[in-house]
Structure 1
Amino acid sequence: MDRDSAPQEITSLVGREVYTNNGVFIGEVEDLRLNLDSENVTGLALHELNRELFGAEISSARGIIVPYRWVQSVGDVIIVNDIVERIQRQKDDEDAEDEVAA
């Protein structure tokens, strides 16, 4: 995000789609987590999550919160680090190890 540009209303983030820097859809911004003392956005509350990434976890939850420090850029869409994909790969690797051990 260009820090020298004119500030925007934080509510303009609501409704934007969130993708990893590899182009994988994560979800849509539903709300923001704020630190009122420092007047900063600390997280993006996402819903309409990608079922392939989150599978069974999303059936029991309303959404997820992505730390704002993961955000790389904000435009028509929001781009975040590929950390979400890495977490999913680790989970898949753990599931595969459990299947082998069973």
Structure 2
Amino acid sequence: MARFKKISDVYEMKVFTDSGYFFGEIEEALIEENRIKSWKIKAVPGSLLSSKVKDAKGVIIPQKFFKAFGDIVIIQDVDFGNSSSDDADDEK
């Protein structure tokens, strides 16, 4: 049986990579044509994201990188290479 969550229940959930690193927290869902297109992840102190994007408040990760929603959120590992910001769309 499919289990569903309301979007409002997902805000501020902790996000982890599939390697087990704490990545950040869900801040916002970006919806296009009645579907979730991507998620805005907030860089919080102690997170992998805050150590990688020092001057930014967070990043936007496409929905296709999200693997599971439960008590926590699991995403695919994200490469923070030094190339363009389109890397997240091209990865894997």
| TM-score under structure 1 length normalisation | 0.67
Deviation at 1:30, TM superposition (A): 0.9
Q: Which has the higher strand share?
A: 2
Alpha-carbon separation, structure 2, partners of 1:18 and 1:66: 11
RMSD: 1.7
Find the structure with the greater CA-based Rg. Answer: 1
User: d(CA) in 1 for partners of 2:3 and 2:17?
Assistant: 25
Query: 22, 41, 49: which is aligned to 2:36?
Result: 41
Segments of structure 2 that go 5 or more residues without pairing to the other structure are 83-92
Secondary structure of the residue aligned to 1:5 is: coil
More helix by share: 1
Tell me how far apart the structure 2 counterparts of residues 62 and 34 of structure 1 sit (CA, whole Å): 20
Unaligned runs of 5+ in 1: 92-102
Amino acid at match of 2:13: R
Question: Displaced runs of 4+ in structure 1, greater than 4 A?
Answer: none
The alignment-based identity, stated in percent, is 22
User: Taking structure 2 as the reference length, what is the TM-score of the superposition?
Assistant: 0.73
